[in-house]
Amino acid sequence: MSHTYEAMWEKLNLDLDAHAGLLQVLGKFYGDIYLSQTGRLRGMEYLDFVLSEVHGLRIKELQDAKAQGRKVIGTFCVFVPEEIVLAADAIQVGLCAGAEIGKDAAEKILPRNTCALIKSFVGFKLSRLCPYLESCDLVVGETTCDGKKKAYEIFVDYAPLYVMEIPQMKNACDRDLWRGEVIRFKEKIEELTGNTIAAAKLSQSIRVVNDRRRALQRLNRLRAAVPAPISGRDVLLVNQISFYDDPVRFTENIHKLCDEIEERVNAKQGIAPEGTPRLMLSGCPMAVPNWKLPFVVESSGAVIVGEESCIGTRNTRDLVDENGPSFEAMIDALADRYMRIDCACFTPNAERLDNVVSMAKELQVNGVIHYGLSFCHPYAIEAFKVDKALKEAGVPMLSIETDYSMEDVEQLKTRVEAFVEMIR
């Protein structure tokens, strides 16, 4: 990444030396894990470019938008309705929280046995490493798992924070609570931006976000072909970038990528030969630059053909109904769509079991790797029921718990290779 952005980073009060270290690690990782792949699609060049400018051009775009009076909203969870943010002419960015680099700082104020994702976002803030976080006019938290909601009580002293209440069950009263939260969020965003959200703007933003979901759904349908036309690593990257790129530009480029994949599928060409074991990942989200497990899997003789995850199909599976005839009906449609998210923070969470099994069947996988971040209780405990449901469907599962450190790569490789060998 060019040093022409240094003045911008300095203005954002980043720790320039530590930030340079982060970019160096990111570049090395990306080279080893992504650019070393052979037979990549031309369309991935757009994604390579966006990633190479992740702290450069995109941040400049955010700063330019802010100079014109637009607000930037940062999020950590797929529950935050981007449609509301876009309808108020603001910009939403997913705050990645996928790197270990601020861990030491985070452990000074959080227990060591906190999940890596929480430590990462707190560590990034304390270490002044993330230009997205520093660009935010508002950071939106949510009451999902206990770790996150208690960490926000500390985080609020460091960043402008707003917390949405997410219900824990899916009864009628929970849906009412959530609808009320969508309205409270709308009012907060209107107050922050000074823009009143009109029905026409909301209808338009529902279409923009749905269009992005439709592009990602198309990608997921195409990648399900046999042989798999694109690597799991590349699709994970596409999903990761969907959280911070401009939604309209991103959607256009993903359709171009899909056109190219369609040609590959028609020609029966694969990124890995037919007969390569097909695996699906299921569980916790993998935020940039958390590419460890996909890299381990795809260098162990298997190909990943699906991610049942928030940086995957949990974020793209459901659309918001676009036919709401009034503002109130659109709010209902938003509340209903987001209530369908099958996060392990819900109890009971039977939809997830159904979704995992049907996805495994549709993708014709030979096995599932359940991925849990160490100390994430919701997903670790739910892994038992996921395993049981998959067993009943005749699909083997391997459960892996890890964090962002690279120390266990060899150990993971041994376990994944043994699993691949077993299902081959």
Would you list the DSSP string of 70-122? --EEEESSTTS-HHHHHHTT-EEEE-----STTHHHHHTTS-TTS-HHHHHHH
Tokens 């022409």, residue located? 4
Closest by Cα among 237, 248, 253 to 304:
237
- Min dist CB 342 to ligand SF4, Å, is 9
383 binds ligand SF4 (CB under 6 A): no
Q: Of the two residues 77 and 241, which places its CB atom closer to ligand SF4 in the complex? A: 77
Distance CA 313, CA 338 (A): 13
- Min dist CB 71 to ligand SF4, Å, is 22
Distance CA 418, CA 421 (A): 5
Tokens 């939809």, residue located? 351
Hey, which bits of 65-187 come out as E strands? 72-75, 91-94, 138-142, 161-164
Among 222, 284, 286, 412, binds ligand SF4 (CB under 6 A): 284
Q: Of the two residues 315 and 366, which places its CB atom closer to ligand SF4 in the complex? A: 315
Distance CA 321, CA 324 (A): 7
Closest by Cα among 26, 73, 38, 111 to 287:
26
Q: Of the two residues 50 and 117, which places its CB atom closer to ligand SF4 in the complex? A: 117
Contact residues for 388 (Cβ-Cβ < 8 A; gap 6+): none
81 binds ligand SF4 (CB under 6 A): no
- Min dist CB 198 to ligand SF4, Å, is 29
Q: Which of residues 187-216 bind ligand SF4 (CB under 6 A)?
A: none
What backbone phi and psi angles, to 5 degrees, belong to 144? -90, -90
Among 44, 95, 110, 115, binds ligand SF4 (CB under 6 A): 115
Closest by Cα among 174, 188, 308 to 236:
308
Among 92, 143, 144, 251, binds ligand SF4 (CB under 6 A): 144
Among 285, 289, 306, 324, binds ligand SF4 (CB under 6 A): 285
Among 26, 105, 110, 117, binds ligand SF4 (CB under 6 A): 117
The H or E element containing residue 397 is: strand 397-402
- Min dist CB 143 to ligand SF4, Å, is 10
Distance CA 412, CA 34 (A): 19
103 binds ligand SF4 (CB under 6 A): no
118 binds ligand SF4 (CB under 6 A): yes
Structure tokens at 79: 């529950």
224 binds ligand SF4 (CB under 6 A): no
- Min dist CB 274 to ligand SF4, Å, is 33
286 binds ligand SF4 (CB under 6 A): no
What backbone phi and psi angles, to 5 degrees, belong to 215? -65, -40
The residue type of 38 is T
Could you tell me how many residues of this chain bind ligand SF4 (CB under 6 A)?
20
> Looking at residue 167, what DSSP letter applies?
P
147 binds ligand SF4 (CB under 6 A): yes
77 binds ligand SF4 (CB under 6 A): yes
Among 74, 94, 270, 378, binds ligand SF4 (CB under 6 A): 378
- Min dist CB 372 to ligand SF4, Å, is 8
- Min dist CB 29 to ligand SF4, Å, is 21
Q: Which of residues 311-350 bind ligand SF4 (CB under 6 A)?
A: 341, 343, 345
Q: Of the two residues 405 and 414, which places its CB atom closer to ligand SF4 in the complex? A: 405
| Alpha-carbon distances, residue 231 vs 78, 113, 158, 224, 333 (angstroms) | 24, 33, 39, 11, 34
Q: Of the two residues 115 and 420, which places its CB atom closer to ligand SF4 in the complex? A: 115
Closest by Cα among 292, 418, 295 to 367:
418
Cα 259 to chain centroid distance, Å, stands at 23
- Min dist CB 375 to ligand SF4, Å, is 6
Applying CB under 6 A, which residues contact ligand SF4? 77-79, 115, 117-118, 144-145, 147-148, 284-285, 310, 341, 343, 345, 373, 376, 378-379
